[in-house]
């Protein structure tokens, strides 16, 4: 398949992943309100959640979303896939309204449009390009990434312990976003080994890091949903952090590229600011959960 064909195939797959992630987020938040609150990072929370039918369905949706994400990452750059997943928040808000039998008002539709406009502007200006994806084969590059992840997640967890309960969801959500963004980068780096031989991935450290980092990100996201009265602000933080971290991983470790120069860089920065503002506004408009 040529580059244009991969692009045309990869974008709808990434959007399907976003929709599945958004639907999964709704079910996860509603489920998290039905079980006892647990300290951040404690796996016993998952043991409680497994008994909730809606949470089990959320896992099915999350698995489907993950499969779509892997398929998209095998076709198009990480820097393109992860920003497209921002549209998952739009699905979250709309599906939340449907669960509560509320019709989305014009403000939500306007904010959703603004989010999509900022996202489209970034992708058009940046023109993401795929690299060789071999950066993480180097021991020192891998070590640098591991240290950066441990430091970032550790600081977030420390902040969650120190902050008042009102603010606790944000560092937990940021930590989850870091885990998701780096996990996506690891998956993207494995895609190149998969093209050589399917068995190659079993001798790459990234595969085993994904098995740790992915589930830990899910656990942290559940902690974030449970720690606050609303799920959408936590999801907004995850939604913003995930692509920003993925962009950094793509540029620094995977040799991916975006357009440089003063004008493109300014346009990229402004479009990302628009996306962040739209995501925050959408999160504030999300309805409150009334029941499980």
Structure confidence at residue 287 (pLDDT) = 45
Q: What pTM, to 2 d.p., does this model score? A: 0.76
pLDDT of residue 2 exceeding 70, the answer is: no
Q: What is the separation of C-alpha 35 from the centre of its chain, rounded to a whole number of angstroms?
A: 24
Q: How confident is the model at residue 288 (pLDDT cuts 50, 70, 90)?
A: very low
| 227 within 8 A of 168, measured Cβ to Cβ | yes
Q: How confident is the model at residue 179 (pLDDT cuts 50, 70, 90)?
A: very high
Nearest CA to 230 among 26, 40, 48?
A: 26
Structure confidence at residue 285 (pLDDT) = 56
CA distance 122 to 76: 16
| 234 within 8 A of 224, measured Cβ to Cβ | yes
Q: For residue 125, give both structure tokens.
A: 């200006």
How many of the other CB atoms lie within 10 Å of CB of 155?
14
């Amino acid at each position: 398949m040529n580059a244009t064909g991969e692009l045309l195939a990869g974008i709808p797959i990434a959007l399907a992943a976003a929709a599945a992630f958004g639907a999964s987020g709704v079910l996860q938040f509603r489920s998290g309100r039905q079980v006892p609150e647990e300290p951040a990072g404690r796996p016993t929370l998952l043991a409680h959640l497994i008994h909730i039918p809606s949470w089990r369905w959320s896992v099915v949706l999350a698995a489907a979303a993950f499969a779509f994400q892997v398929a998209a990452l095998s076709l198009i750059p990480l820097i393109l896939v992860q920003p497209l997943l921002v549209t998952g928040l739009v699905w979250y808000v709309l599906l939340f309204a449907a669960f509560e039998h509320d019709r989305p008002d014009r403000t939500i539709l306007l904010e959703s449009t603004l989010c999509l406009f900022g996202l489209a502007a970034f992708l058009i200006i940046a023109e993401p390009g795929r690299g060789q994806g071999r950066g993480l084969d180097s021991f020192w590059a891998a070590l640098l990434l591991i240290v950066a992840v441990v430091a970032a997640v550790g600081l977030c967890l420390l902040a969650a312990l120190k902050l008042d309960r009102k603010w606790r969801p944000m560092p937990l959500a940021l930590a989850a976003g870091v885990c998701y963004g780096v996990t996506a980068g690891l998956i993207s780096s494995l895609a190149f080994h998969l093209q050589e031989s399917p068995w190659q991935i079993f001798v790459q450290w990234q595969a085993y890091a994904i098995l740790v980092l992915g589930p830990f990100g899910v656990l942290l996201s559940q902690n974030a949903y449970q720690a606050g009265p609303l799920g959408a602000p936590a999801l907004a933080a995850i939604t913003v952090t995930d692509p920003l971290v993925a962009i950094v991983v793509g540029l620094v470790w995977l040799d991916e590229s975006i357009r440089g120069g003063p004008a493109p860089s300014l346009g990229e920065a402004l479009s990302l600011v628009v996306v962040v503002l739209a995501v925050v506004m959408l999160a504030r408009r999300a309805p409150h959960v009334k029941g499980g």
